[in-house]
Amino acid sequence: MTDVKAYAAQKQAAPLNDFDIKRRTVGPDDVQIDIAYCGVCHSDLHMVNNDWGISAYPLVPGHEIIGDVTAVGAKVKNFKKGDRVGVGCFVDSCRSCEACEADLEQYCLNGFKMTYGSETDDPGGFTFGGYSKGIVVDQNYVLRVPENLDGAGAAPLLCAGITTYSPLKHWKVQAGQTVGVIGLGGLGHMGIKFAHAMGARVVMITTSPEKGKDAKALGADDVLISKDESALAQWAGKFDFLLNTIPVVHDINPYINLLKFDSTMCIVGAIGEFESFQTPQLVFGRRTVAGSLIGGIKETQEMLDFCGEHNITSDVEVIAMKAINDAYKRMQKSDVKYRFVIDLKTLS
């Protein structure tokens, strides 16, 4: 076992502070990683606050990990010391169910093991995440990060990136289509970049007119203000696909009418119970409202390679580890463009 410096919440909704953890000894299939950067996801705050009722403490968040390989096990063939790698939202799955065999580990029928907060045989009894100096991960859940990508900007690709890339690929977004990205934040800004790189006409859909300039700088071709009923009417039936990144439960009915017949709105931001939606909008148009969760290892590697080819990274603000509690407060106010990333060199 190896002693590792980390930051942890000791109880529900507590501030994060210095905490020492132990990582398992490198096994035959393991990759040991010195963490350089870790993105800050809104789910980290949800887990610290136990908003979903599944948190265990002490809790070390972080599942957008970029770092360098420092050691590998005897059976590891695809990674070597010095490689730049990434770790995303999960570090294991059953590997034998229908979903896992289809390279869709995120839908593992027996439940994947989260990068932090899942029961484990490792020291501490629960997985500890990337708000730490190092981590040991099975080789099958480690990803290769293109060398041309900025390390800090690449970190959020492991969650925000794959969360938006996966549905765009699944619903076959391509040149000639019109795609709406609803909400401009950590997820939304990645959705714009990916849809633009895929050749689609991209429309930023937002309640905030002031976000229009930022959206166009990210690659949006048009901006639709969703509070403007006349503008909504003009865009009705014009969209081949809608990527809904709004992070809270909201009224989805105004957006459904924007879809062409046989088109889909995919929800990736809000997890919760929507009060109602108007089924006639679905029936008279054979429209679909769907959801999507991150991506499997194979698709996540595909996404990273796509980012390397198109030089896509997240827009980030790099912070010191000690600034995480202030970053959480700012994140709740949407006071970041568009993702915080922790520089782990600041943790000593």
Per residue in 270-288, pLDDT (tens digit) is 888 888 888 899 999 999 9
Q: What pLDDT sits at residue 44?
A: 97
Query: What is the Cα–Cα distance from 259 to 235, expressed in whole angstroms?
Result: 9
**How high is the pLDDT of residue 268?**
97
Q: Check residue 169 and report its DSSP letter.
A: H
Count of beta carbons in the 10 Å neighbourhood of residue 13: 11
Which pLDDT belongs to residue 169? 98
Q: What is the pLDDT of residue 210?
A: 87
Sign of torsion over alpha carbons 83, 338, 226, 193: negative
Question: Which pLDDT value is given to residue 108?
Answer: 98
Answer whether residue 1 shows pLDDT above 80. Answer: no
Q: How far apart are CA 143 and CA 304, in angstroms?
A: 8
What percent of the chain is modeled with pLDDT above 70? 100
Bridge partners (DSSP) of residue 289 are 265
What architecture (CATH level 2) is domain 2-159+313-346?
Answer: Alpha-Beta Complex (3.90)
The pLDDT tens digits of the residues spanning 168-217 come to 999 999 999 999 999 999 999 999 999 999 999 999 999 988 888 999 99
pLDDT tens per residue, range 104-117: 999 999 999 999 99
Supply the pTM of this predicted model. 0.96
Cα separation of 343 and 66, whole Å?
10
User: What percentage of the chain exceeds 90 in pLDDT?
Assistant: 92
Residue 2 pLDDT: 87
pLDDT in tens, 83-98: 999 999 999 999 999 9
The CATH homologous superfamily of the domain defined by 161-291:
NAD(P)-binding Rossmann-like Domain (3.40.50.720)
pLDDT in tens, 13-60: 999 999 999 999 999 999 999 999 999 999 999 999 999 999 999 999
Has residue 9 got a pLDDT over 80? Answer: yes
Q: Phi and psi of 123, rounded to 5°?
A: -55, 135
3-class state of residue 54 by DSSP: coil
Average pLDDT over residues 243-264: 94
| Cβ-proximal residues to 113 (8 Å cutoff; 6+ apart), any chain | 90, 91, 92, 93, 120, 127
**Segment 139-150 mean pLDDT:** 98
For the chain, what are the domain ranges?
2-159+313-346, 161-291
Q: Is residue 79 over pLDDT 90?
A: yes
**Does the pLDDT value for residue 326 go beyond 90?**
yes
Which pLDDT score, from 0 to 100, does residue 272 have? 81
Q: Are strands 288-291 and 2-9 parallel, antiparallel or unpaired?
A: unpaired
* Average pLDDT, integer, range 315-333: 97
